Structure 1
Amino acid sequence: MAASNSIEGFKVATVDVEDLMEGERDVEVSDENREETLAYQRMMTYIQTLHDVPDFTYSKSFLNALHWMLQGHRHHPRKPAGQWRRGPVYVTDARDSSIAAYTAPDAEAVPPLMQELVDWLNASDTTHTLVRAAMAHLHLVSIHPWADGNGRMSRSLQTLIIAREGVLAPEFSSIEAWLGRPGNTWEYYRELASRGAHYLPDQDVSSWLHFNLTAYHQQAQTVQGRLTRAGNVWEALTDFTQQTGLDERIISALHDVAMAGRVRRSRYEHAEGLSLQQAQRDLRDLVAAEVLSPVGRTRARYYTTGARFPQRALDIARTPMTLIDPYAAS
C-alpha cells in the first residue's frame, strides 16, 4: 500500500502504513494521506477475500464498485467515484505537465471497451496467470476509464487475478512494493509511455511482459532476502536476551525496531498478547536499560534504538541484498 500510493504521489512511509493498519490514530501523516491509505487498505482487503468465491464473475459494476471503495472518500463533482469518466483524460509527462504523454480513448468508447475487457476476464484461458494478470493491468490502464485512480485500480486488478489463483500473500500477489522503488517507478512510467501516445490495442507487448516478469521474480527475491534477514536478526536478538537475562518476549519489540526502525506500545502489546500494563512495564524497563529510546509523548510515543541496543542485530538488518536479473544473458 505504501508503494502503490507513493507512485501516485501520496508519500506515507511503510512503518506509518503499518501503524495505520494497526488502528493507531496518532500517526504523523496528513489527513489526505491517511484517507488514501485506509481507503486502499479496505479495497485490497476486500480483493483478498474474493480468492475463493465460487460464483465470482467480473463485471463493469464490480469494477466501478472497487473504484468507489478507492475514491469514494473524495468529493469532486467532475471526478465522480465509481462512474466512468465523462470527458477526456490525459497522462501528463513526468518532466513537463504541459505535455500529454498519453491520451486515453474518448469517453464514449469507455463502456464498450470495458465490456470487452470484462468479457475477456471472464473467458476461459490457458494463459499463465502472471502473464494474464500483467495484460489485465495494461488493458485497464490503457482504457483509463475513470477520471482518477486508474493506476491503482489497474495494479489492483493485477493483484486480484493472481489472488484468484490462490496466491494470497501480498508479497507474492502484488508487485507494487517492487514498482514503488524510485528507479523502478521511473521504469514503469517509461514502459507505459513506450506503448504509444494514444490507445493502440494491436501492438507488440513483449517488453511489457518482460518488465512484469522481471518484477515478479525480483519481488520474490526481495521477499526471500527479507525472510532470511529477519530470521538472522531474530537469532541475534535471542542471543542478546540470553546473555542479558531479559525475557524472550521482548524479542518481538526489538525485532520491529531493528527491521522497521521503531515499535509502538500497542503493536508490541498485540504481538505478545500482553495487557496494557505489562507492555508499558516492559518498554519502560528497556528504556531504563538504554536498550530503547522513547520518541514523543503519550499516545503518539514510539520507541527506537537506545545506546545499548544490540549492534549485531542492527548490522544484520542494515546489510543490503543483491538482486539478480533473471533474464540477463549468462
Structure 2
Amino acid sequence: MFIHETDNWTSFRWDSDKITDLLIRTNKAIGFLAGRLSTIGFDNQMAATVESVTHDVVSSSEIEGVTLNTAEVRSSVARKLGVTVSETKEPTHYIGGIVEMMLDATQNYLAPLTAERLFGWHAALFPMGKSGSTTISVGTYRTGGMEVVSGMFGRERIHYRAPEAGRIGGEMDTFLAWFNDLQHTPSLLKSAIAHLWFVSIHPFDDGNGRIGRAISDMVLSQADQSKLRYFSMSMQISREKKEYYRILEATQRSDGDITAWLVWYLECLGRAIEASEAMLSGVLRKAMFWKTFSAISITGRQRDVLNTYLDGYQGKLTAKNWGKLAEVSLDTAGRDIRDLVSKGILSPVQGRVRDVSYIINYVAEDTFIRNFSKPEIVQRDDKEYITAFYKDTQKVEERISNIDRLRLEQKEITLNDLLYKYFAYLAD
C-alpha cells in the first residue's frame, strides 16, 4: 500500500521528540550563517547568492540525470540578478527557462503558489514538449497513470505508484490551499512536508522532483523572509541521492508517519548549510582577489586558469598543471606563471628547485597580517579549521581544504599563507 491509498493520507503524523532538537540545531545553524553573511557587504552577498542558486539549478537537474553547463547556468543567474561575474558564457534558451523557474520560486516567494504558476514552471523545464525523446503533456497536469520504476524490462521494480489522474486536480487544490494558508507558518518543517506532499501527488508527466525541490526552496525563502540564498539543498540531496530515494520510497510506502523523512530532511539541510560555509569562503576569497588585482592587466588565458583555481581546483599550482588546464606547452605555462609572479599575483613556494609550486596572493601583503594573532589549526568533527584573533578582539574561523592541510604539514605553505587565503575578505 502506498501512502495516498490510506484514509486522510495528508494528515501526516510525526514524533515531535525526535525532531525538536534537530529543528533547534538547524535553525541555529541558519542563524549563524546569516549573521556571518551580514558582515560581508551586499555585493559579496549577491555573489554568494549567484553561486548558491547555480549549485541548486545544476544539482537539481543532476538528480534527475540531466547535466547542465555550470558556466551557462552561472551566467544566466548572474544576469537575471544583475550581478557581474568574471567568467561568462551565453546560456541557451533552455537553461534560461530553468533558471527563471528557480528564481521565481526564491525571489517571488511572497506570491501565492497557483496551478497556473506551476504550469509555467513546468513549461520552462520542457520548452520543446519532450522529455528526452518522449512527447509529454506540458503546462498541464498529467492525464495518465504514473509509476516510478527501475530495472530491466520484464524485471521492473515499482518504487512508487502515484494517485490516478482523475484525483490530481482535487489533490493539488488541497495541497495549494494548505501551502498558501497563512495559518501554516513557513518553517523548515513546512519545507520538508511540502516537498514530500508534492512529489507524492506527482502531478506532472515529468519534472516533479525539480519542481518539488523548487517548492521546498520557496518555503525556505519565506521562512527567512529573504531573496538571498546561501545554501543549496539540491546540491546536498545530489550528494546523498541514494539515501534520498531510499527514505522517500520508505515514507511513500508508510501509513502516514513521516518522522523518518523529517529527520533525514533536517539532517540533510544541516549538512547543506555546513557545505555552504566552504562555498561562501571561496566566493569571498575570489571576490577579494579580483578586487585586489583589478588594475593589473592579464591575458584571458591567465584569467581562466586563475578562476579554475579560485573556484576550488584541488591540484597544486605548478607549470605542469597550468599547461594541462590551459592546454598549452610547458614553456608557455612557465611564461604565464612568471608574468603573474612579476605582477605580485603568484608567489613561488620557497625551498623547491624542481616542480616548483605557487600560491595565490589573495590580498596585497602590506600590513594585513599584523591584524592577526594566535593563529592555529584545530580539529573538530574530523575536520580541520584555521582560527585566529582578528585585531585582538574578534575570533575568526574557517574550514581548510585537505590539500591545504597536507601542504602545511609538508611545509610548502605557512600559517600566514593560510591567513592570507582564508581571511582575505576581512581586508575589504
Q: Would you call these one fold, judging by a TM-score over 0.5?
A: yes
For each residue in 1:173-219, what CA deviation from the matched residue of structure 2 results, as whole angstroms up to 9, or x when unmatched? Answer: x41111122xx01111111111245xx6x511111111111122111
1:290 correspondence with 2:336: yes
Extract unaligned runs of 5+ from structure 2: 1-56, 80-87, 314-331, 340-354, 363-399, 406-428
Extract unaligned runs of 5+ from structure 1: 28-33, 263-285, 294-306, 322-330
One of 148, 159, 173 as aligned partner of 2:206: 148
One of 204, 209, 216 as aligned partner of 2:257: 204
1:65 correspondence with 2:111: no
One of 226, 234, 243 as aligned partner of 1:167: 226
The percentage of aligned residue pairs carrying the same residue is 21
- Asked if structure 1 preserves the Cα contact closer than 8 Å seen for 2:144 and 2:164, the reply is yes
Shift of 1:261: 6.3
1:260 correspondence with 2:303: no
SS in 1 for 2:117: helix
SS in 1 for 2:156: strand
- Give the equivalent residue in structure 1 for 2:248: 192
Shift of 1:136: 0.6
For each residue in 1:144-171, what CA deviation from the matched residue of structure 2 results, as whole angstroms up to 9, or x when unmatched? Answer: 0011111001001111122234233333
- Correspondence 1:40-119 to 2 at 5 A: 40-52=98-110, 56-75=111-130, 79-93=136-150, 98-119=156-177
Query: Partner amino acid for 1:227?
Result: L
- Asked if structure 1 preserves the Cα contact closer than 8 Å seen for 2:251 and 2:260, the reply is no
- Correspondence 1:115-154 to 2 at 5 A: 115-127=173-185, 129-154=187-212
Distance 1:91 1:175, change over 3 A: same
For each residue in 1:12-47, what CA deviation from the matched residue of structure 2 results, as whole angstroms up to 9, or x when unmatched? Answer: 35445335656624x8xxxxxx66533311211222
- Asked if structure 2 preserves the Cα contact closer than 8 Å seen for 1:90 and 1:101, the reply is yes
SS in 2 for 1:136: helix
SS in 2 for 1:154: helix
Rg larger in 1 or in 2?
2
Distance 1:12 1:64, change over 3 A: closer
**Distance in structure 2 (CA, Å) of the matches to 1:157 and 1:179:** 15
- Asked if structure 1 preserves the Cα contact closer than 8 Å seen for 2:102 and 2:214, the reply is yes
**Distance in structure 2 (CA, Å) of the matches to 1:288 and 1:148:** 50
Shift of 1:106: 0.5
**Distance in structure 1 (CA, Å) of the matches to 2:125 and 2:236:** 21
1:219 correspondence with 2:268: no
Kindly indicate which of the two structures has a greater share of residues assigned to strand.
Answer: 2
- Asked if structure 2 preserves the Cα contact closer than 8 Å seen for 1:237 and 1:310, the reply is no
**Distance in structure 1 (CA, Å) of the matches to 2:250 and 2:338:** 49
SS in 1 for 2:157: strand
For each residue in 1:87-134, what CA deviation from the matched residue of structure 2 results, as whole angstroms up to 9, or x when unmatched? Answer: 101111378872211000100010000010011112123555111011
Distance 1:313 1:3, change over 3 A: farther
Calculate the aligned-residue CA RMSD, in Å: 3.9
- Asked if structure 2 preserves the Cα contact closer than 8 Å seen for 1:43 and 1:66, the reply is yes
SS in 1 for 2:148: strand
**Distance in structure 2 (CA, Å) of the matches to 1:292 and 1:61:** 58
Distance 1:188 1:37, change over 3 A: farther
- Give the equivalent residue in structure 2 for 1:6: 62
- Correspondence 1:229-248 to 2 at 5 A: 229=282, 231=284, 247=295
